[in-house]
Amino acid sequence: MNENKAVIFWLLSGCFLIFTMVVIGGITRLTHSGLSMVNWNLFMGVIPPLNNVQWQETFELYKTSPEYLKVNYNFTLNEFKSIFFWEYLHRLIGRVLGLVFIIPFIYFLTKKKFTKKLKIQSFILFLMGALQGAIGWWMVKSGLVDRPDVSHYRLAIHLITAFLTCAYIIWVVLHLVSPNDSIGNSKLFRLNIVLFILIVIQIIYGAFVAGLDAGIGFNTWPKMREKWIADAVFSLDPFWKNFTEGRFGVQFVHRTLALIIVVYILFVWIIGKNFILTKTQKGAITLSFLIVFLQTVLGIFTLILEVPISLALIHQVVAFLLLLSVVYSLFVFKKS
């Protein structure tokens, strides 16, 4: 580990910045701040408006956007500044993340700190990071044409790419910190692969819920008001659109999949009791088990309280931690 200490610190710094971006991105979305910057300048965009003239020019650009014309047409300059702040901060951290990755990467490469495998892994991370930045602007552009909101499909791609990038960083770091020399457990490894897939799908649907504002409406649990499945779930034609573009169909999938994941993690935990596991392996299962239940409770309260910003943000953060906990489980159950 000592010979990889600097590389490990570098990778974890990147993971922390991605986590920070997820938090700031969540605030940006929940405060409807994401369309406040209507252009993208990679270098010049680092400097925010510094005086009243520059602020007024930036505000005039925003006034040409669909969001201002259709939603925020009575905004004052001070109100604009409050939403501009979060989107600016989100983009600024993205630039810092790029520098934190590329500069040490070049240094470690020239100093021959990478093994062949780590070179490949670092290059994959570089591609994932670049892709994430491109997807971010592609997402914002979808809300600058006709609709005063971003595409929920693009929002989901943007979010899940960030989650998977950080998950891959943790996977790489775990092998650097503690090369896996355990006997592993193929059955529990496969079960956790299924859990990983289920959680990825659930995160995507969480982004759909956010993008469609599907958390508002049917704010009761476990039923959707008086019914287990509300009639509004099946309001769109063709039928399949209800579960990808219908607000209440998407909410139904998200809340149902949450229960499926709870039952599944309980099943994995029970199966784990049938094996002789190391303390680390038992801890990995228990950690995922506890986070799933915490996340479910948070989801229920977020729903019934009609999506308060603080609770919705915590719900997103715990989803991030849940995915990383499953990556850890995959690591400890993977055969050496």
Between CA 13 and CA 100 the distance in angstroms is 8
Query: Between these two residues, 182 and 79, which has the higher pLDDT value?
Result: 79
Identify whether residues 9 and 91 lie together within a single domain. yes
Last residue of a domain, one of 136, 164, 179: 179
pLDDT digits (tens, 9 = 90+) for 277-333: 888 899 999 999 999 999 999 999 999 999 999 999 999 999 999 999 999 999 999
- Smallest CA-to-CA distance from 150 within 65, 72, 83, 233 is with 65
Identify whether residues 135 and 246 lie together within a single domain. no
| Banded model confidence at residue 71, pLDDT cuts 50, 70, 90 | confident
pLDDT at 145: 75
90: CB partners within 8 A, 6+ apart: 21, 24, 25, 28, 34
Last residue of a domain, one of 179, 202, 221: 179
Which range marks the domain in which residue 75 is found? Answer: 1-179
- Smallest CA-to-CA distance from 162 within 197, 214, 200 is with 200
Identify whether residues 18 and 54 lie together within a single domain. yes
Contact of 154 with 308, CB cutoff 8 Å: no
- Smallest CA-to-CA distance from 251 within 291, 306, 314, 289 is with 306
Total domains, the chain = 2
Last residue of a domain, one of 179, 204, 229: 179
How many beta carbons lie within 10 A of that of residue 315, not counting itself?
22
What is the mean predicted confidence (pLDDT) over 91-113?
Answer: 88
Query: Between these two residues, 2 and 171, which has the higher pLDDT value?
Result: 171
Identify whether residues 34 and 99 lie together within a single domain. yes
Identify whether residues 188 and 245 lie together within a single domain. yes
Identify whether residues 52 and 173 lie together within a single domain. yes
Query: Residue 42 pLDDT > 90, yes or no?
Result: no
pLDDT digits (tens, 9 = 90+) for 127-142: 988 888 888 888 888 8
Please tell me which of 65-79, 108-122, 250-264, 271-285 the model is most confident about, judged by mean pLDDT.
250-264
Q: What percent of the chain has pLDDT over 70?
A: 96
Contact of 208 with 331, CB cutoff 8 Å: no
pLDDT at 336: 60
The residues pairing with 306 across neighbouring beta strands, listed in sequence order, are none
Identify whether residues 147 and 112 lie together within a single domain. yes
Q: Give the alpha-carbon dihedral of 254, 256, 258, 263, to 10 degrees.
A: -160
Identify whether residues 234 and 113 lie together within a single domain. no
pLDDT at 16: 93
Identify whether residues 186 and 175 lie together within a single domain. no
- SS3 of the chain: CHHHHHHHHHHHHHHHHHHHHHHHHHHHHHCCCCCCCCCCCCCHHHCCCCCHHHHHHHHHHHCCCHHHHHCCCCCCHHHHHHHHHHHHHHHHHHHHHHHHHHHHHHHHHHCCCCCHHHHHHHHHHHHHHHHHHHHHHHHHHCCCCCCCCCCHHHHHHHHHHHHHHHHHHHHHHHHHHCCCCCCCCHHHHHHHHHHHHHHHHHHHHHHHHHHHCCCCCCCCCCCECCECCCHHHHCCCCHHHHHCCCHHHHHHHHHHHHHHHHHHHHHHHHHHCCCCCCHHHHHHHHHHHHHHHHHHHHHHHHHHCCCCHHHHHHHHHHHHHHHHHHHHHHHHHCCC
Identify whether residues 160 and 215 lie together within a single domain. no
pLDDT digits (tens, 9 = 90+) for 176-230: 887 655 678 899 999 999 999 999 999 999 999 998 999 998 999 999 999 999 9
Identify whether residues 142 and 232 lie together within a single domain. no
pLDDT at 1: 52
What single-letter amino acid sits at 132?
A: Q
Identify whether residues 165 and 232 lie together within a single domain. no
pLDDT at 37: 83
User: Which pair of tokens denotes residue 265?
Assistant: 């993690």
User: Which pair of tokens denotes residue 301?
Assistant: 């309260």
- Smallest CA-to-CA distance from 29 within 147, 123, 118, 159 is with 159
User: Which pair of tokens denotes residue 140?
Assistant: 């914002």
What single-letter amino acid sits at 242?
A: N
pLDDT at 3: 67
